[in-house]
Amino acid sequence: MAFAHHMIGRWLRRFRRSEDGGPTLEFVIVFMPFMMLAVSAFELGLLMTRHVMLERGLDMAVREVRLNTGLPVNEHQFKVMVCNSAGILPNCMNQLRLEMIAVDLRVAGSVGPATVRREASCVDYNDPFLPARTFNNGIPNQMMVVRACARLAPMLPETALGYFLSRMDNGFYRLVSSTAFVMEPI
């Protein structure tokens, strides 16, 4: 029995002093955090690109509405304008929800239907036919606030940043964009 302990002890000392496989061990330790960082950077880049394109789509649609005050626009037409300009948003017509509210600048802190709520209204898959909160066309020289909310799924939902994004809202994350404009006079 003493011989077995002596042999195991000698083998462990030799193993401790040996430098074979050193680079492999370093690779195993460093590879996973590096890959998680790279995948998270990809996911964050996609998220930011989608958000920038949502902002651009909303700005282009608002520009068209603002300059064509003589023609009233409904929510579906406005959504088509946003989605055509946004381009990169997947399934945009079903993922996007809009609010357009007329705001009276003379009344500070008003309460009522013209109040812009703090939280955005996004698509609810449990109730897909839920109408928009408020979508009213403005009249010339009226201040309007427009908010768009899109619910999108992460590209890689089970890895790194995508894991946390997919746990936010039943497998989706929200992108919210808002802008204000004054309807041009006719």
Give me the numbers of helices (H) and strands (E) for the chain, helices first please: 5, 3
Please choose, from the candidates 84, 77, 125, 67, the residue with its C-alpha nearest in 3D space to the C-alpha of residue 98. Answer: 77
Mean pLDDT on 124-147:
75
Mean pLDDT score across all residues of the chain: 83
pTM of the model: 0.79
What are the pLDDT digits (tens) for 35-78?
999 999 999 999 999 999 999 999 999 998 888 766 788 889 99
CA atoms within 13 A on the CB side of 101: 22
**Does residue 185 or residue 75 have the better pLDDT?**
75
Q: What residues does each domain of the chain span?
A: 23-183
